[in-house]
Structure 1
C-alpha cells in the first residue's frame, strides 16, 4: 500500500470496557485472511494490556503491526501521539486496512475528525466505518428501565449511560455483542433503542465478537459530511423543525397523541400559535418515538429541575437548549438514561450590548430572531419508548414561568450553571 496515492481505509472501533473490542480485534486479525491489517490500540493504564493481548492472540509482534499508545485517551491527551503514530504506520509498514481501537472511555467522533481534518493524516487515510461494540446486557441494564439496576461508571467518573449513548449516536455499525446472554425480546429492545439514538446505524448480533470480517471492513459507511448530523436527537430537532407561526417541515399539521391539534402555550408572548407538538415517529416496528418541545417563554429553574429529576426511565435520551428565567446563558441539557447534566454554553445574543449583538446577528443571516425575545428560546427533544407524551408535555408546560412571574421579572438561577463552560450534574445514576 505504501507508495501508492490511494488512501488507506480506517475502521474506528469503540465500546465500553469489557464490551469485547479486544476479542473482536483478535478475531479480525485471525480471520481476515484476504487483508493485511494494521491495528492501533489505546489503553488507559501504564501498561498497554490491550496491545499485549492482541499481539499474543494474533501472533503479531508489537513492532510488526501493532502500535501502542498508553497513559491517556486517544481523542484528547494523546491526540498528537495518535497523529504521529498513524503517519509513521503509513510510511513504514505495508498494510491494506487500519483499525483504530479507542480507549473504553472514548467516543469515536474526535478520532474520526483527526482523519478528516488534519491534512497530513487525511492525505494518507480515509475513514471507512465507525463501529461500536455494545455489551448488550449492560446496555439493557442502563436503559431498559429496570427497577434496581446496578449503575456503573467509567474510569474517568462519567456515568456508563453517557458513554454508551455517545458511542452509539455517532456509529455507522453497532455490534450487539454477548447476544447469547439476552432473550430475543431483549435483543429486539436494544436494536430499537440503537435505532432511536442513530436511525441509520446497522446492527449485528454477535457472540464473543465473532463476525464475518467483510461485514465490518471495506463497508464505506462513513460520510465525513454527515458526522455532526448522525445523532438521532439532532435529526429529531431538524426534522421536526418549526419557525414561529409555521407548521413543521415534515408534517402538514401536528397533533397530539389523542389526535387533537396542539399549539404554543396561549400565554406565550404575542399569543404565537405555531404548532409546538413537533414530533417524528420512526417505523412502528422500532417501538420508539421522539417529540420536540419548543417555547418562546423561559422555564422556572426550580420547577424544570424537579421535572428532570423525575423524568421517567422510558425516556432514553433527551437533549437541547433551555431558556431559563434570571439566567442569560444558553444552557444545554443532556440526559442519557439515569444521567442528566446541564452546561452553560454562552450568553444569548439578545443579552449582549447592542454593537456586539448587531455584529453577531449580521454574521448569522439564518438566525431565528423574535422581536421581543431575540434568539432566546427552548428546544428540547425527547426520545424513548412507551412514554406518555401528552403527560410529559403538560408537565413541561407547567415548569414555564407564569404571566405573573414573567411580569415581576423573576430572578432565580436554581441549580443550573450561569458561568460559560460550567457544568452541573442534575441527576446521577
Structure 2
C-alpha cells in the first residue's frame, strides 16, 4: 500500500502572514521536500509568484496555483485535480495548502478525508490558522468590530465570521504580529482563542517565524472529532452531561501545559475576571422564544458577546432555528423539523430508533440550547434578557402562527445583522 502524504492546511485572514509563514517554512525546510498549493481569489495569483520567488520551487513544478475562486467552495474539483497531479508528477514529503483569506478550513480538509482521489493519496496532518493579533483584538477584544470583508466583490461574508471559523477548526493557531499588541492585549487574545477552541495549540509569532517541527509531523487532525473542536460545541456537550433543568450554565477556561497545548479543566474553574474576562455559559429552555422579541435581541447583542451559537425553539416555526453569531454578524437558519412536528407514525419510528433522544411529554424534542461566549459577560443579566424573550404564560395559550415572525422556514436562512 502506498504511503499517504501528510498535508498541512494554512488558513487566516488577508494580510495575517500566511505567505510569509510559507516562505519561512520553505527556507527552513531542512531535509523535507515540500510541495505547495496556493489559492488566490484574483485572476493573478500573487502569492504563488511570491512563493516561487523565495524558493527553489517554480509555478508548475513544486508550486501549484488555483486562482479566481475559493478552494473551500467553487474550486473544490480543481483542488482535487491539482493535488492529485502533484502527487503523480513529483516526489515530495509534505504538501502545504495555503488557502485564500476568505476560505473556510473545514471543507478543504474534508476533501482529503472523504473517499476522493485526493484522500487516497494524502492525509491531513494539521490545520494551522495564522491570526493578525492586532486585528483579532480590535475585532473582539477592543472597541472595534470586524467590518472588513474579502477583496473579492462577490464575497459577502463578514470578516468576523471567517476569523471565528478559522480559529474553531484549527489544531494550531499562530498569534502573529505579536509585537503590535501589548502583553495585556495578547493575553486577552489568547484567552478568546481558548474560549473559541479549547484544544487548539497557541503559538506567538513575529513575522510568522516558527520552527517547522512545530507545524509538520504533528498528526493533530482527527476527522472523527474535528466537528466537535469548537468551544461552543464543547460547552454544549458539557451542559448536556448535566441534569435537565431549565438552564445549565458554567464558566470555562483553559490553560497551557509545558508544550503549549490547550488544557481544559472541568472542575477547577477560575473566576472569569481572573482570565481576562472571557467566559461562557449554555442557556437551555423548554419554552419557545417570541419571534419578534428574540429577533430584536439578536439584532442588538452587546458588543462583548464574541460568539454565540445554538439551536433555538421559535414560536410559530416547525423547524429548529440554528442561530450563529460571530462579532457583529448574526445569521439564523431553519434546519430540518422538530421530531415532535412529524406525523405520528414517523415520529414514533424515529423515537424507536433513537432511544437516547431527550423527550418532554408535552413538547417532545422542542427546546433551546444556546451557547454564549464573551468578554466581561454579566451572565445573570444575559440570562434574564434571554428569558424576557420567551413567551409569557398568556402568550403560550395564543395562536403562535399569528405572531409577526421574521425567522426563516425550513431550508431558508435569515441574515439578522452584518457589518
TM norm structure 1: 0.88
Quick check: 1:327–1:413 contact (8 Å CA) kept in 2?
no
Quick check: 1:170–1:227 contact (8 Å CA) kept in 2?
yes
Q: Are 2:408 and 1:417 aligned?
A: yes
Closer, same or farther: CA 215–192 of 1 in aligned 2, 3 Å = same
Which SS does the other structure have where 2:31 is aligned? coil
CA distance in 1, matches of 2:404, 2:218: 49
**C-alpha deviation, 1:356, in angstroms:** 2.7
2:317 is aligned to 327
Q: Are 2:81 and 1:108 aligned?
A: no
Residues 56-95 of structure 1 aligned to structure 2 (within 5 Å): 56-95=53-92
Which SS does the other structure have where 2:325 is aligned? strand
Structure 1, 113-122 or 29-38: larger mean CA deviation:
113-122
2:247 is aligned to 276
**C-alpha deviation, 1:219, in angstroms:** 1.5
CA distance in 2, matches of 1:391, 1:26: 48
Quick check: 1:144–1:313 contact (8 Å CA) kept in 2?
no
* Structure 2 unaligned residues grouped into runs of 5+: 255-269
CA distance in 1, matches of 2:36, 2:404: 49
Q: Are 2:34 and 1:37 aligned?
A: yes
**C-alpha deviation, 1:365, in angstroms:** 3.0
Question: Once the two structures are superposed, what CA deviation does each residue of 1:277-330 show, in whole Å capped at 9, x if it has no partner?
Answer: 332422436442211111111000111122223322221110001101111121
1:426 is aligned to 416
**C-alpha deviation, 1:422, in angstroms:** 1.4
CA-atom RMSD in angstroms: 1.7
1:295 to 267, 285, 299: 285
CA distance in 1, matches of 2:135, 2:72: 24
2:172 is aligned to 173
CA distance in 1, matches of 2:38, 2:352: 46
**C-alpha deviation, 1:106, in angstroms:** 1.0
CA distance in 2, matches of 1:375, 1:217: 44
The count of aligned residue pairs is 396
1:396 to 378, 386, 393: 386
Runs in 1 of length 4+ with deviation above 4 angstroms? none
CA distance in 2, matches of 1:125, 1:25: 19
Which SS does the other structure have where 1:224 is aligned? coil
2:265 is aligned to none
CA distance in 2, matches of 1:232, 1:378: 18
Residues 15-164 of structure 1 aligned to structure 2 (within 5 Å): 15-146=12-143, 148-149=144-145, 151-154=147-150, 155=152, 156-164=155-163
* Structure 1 unaligned residues grouped into runs of 5+: 249-272
**C-alpha deviation, 1:413, in angstroms:** 4.7
Question: Once the two structures are superposed, what CA deviation does each residue of 1:4-41 show, in whole Å capped at 9, x if it has no partner?
Answer: 72211110110111111111111111111221000011
Closer, same or farther: CA 150–16 of 1 in aligned 2, 3 Å = closer
